Amino acid sequence: MNTQNFGNLFEQVQKNMKDMQDKVASIEVTGEAGAGMVKVTMNAQHQVKRVEIDPSLVGDDKDMLEDLVAAAFNNASSNIQRTVQDQMGGLAGGLGGMDLSSIFGGK
Q: Is residue 36 included in any domain, yes or no?
A: yes
Q: Is residue 93 included in any domain, yes or no?
A: yes
* Mean pLDDT computed over 44-72: 83
Q: Is residue 9 included in any domain, yes or no?
A: no
pLDDT tens digits, 79-102 = 888 888 887 776 655 555 555 555
**What span, in angstroms and rounded, lies between the C-alpha atoms of 26 and 103?**
15
The pTM of the full predicted model, rounded to 2 decimals, is 0.56
Instruction: Name the residue range of residue 88's domain.
Output: 26-46+62-107
Total structural domains within the chain: 1
Q: Is residue 86 included in any domain, yes or no?
A: yes
CATH of the domain at 87: 3.30.1310.10
Q: Is residue 97 included in any domain, yes or no?
A: yes
**What span, in angstroms and rounded, lies between the C-alpha atoms of 27 and 39?**
16
Q: Is residue 71 included in any domain, yes or no?
A: yes
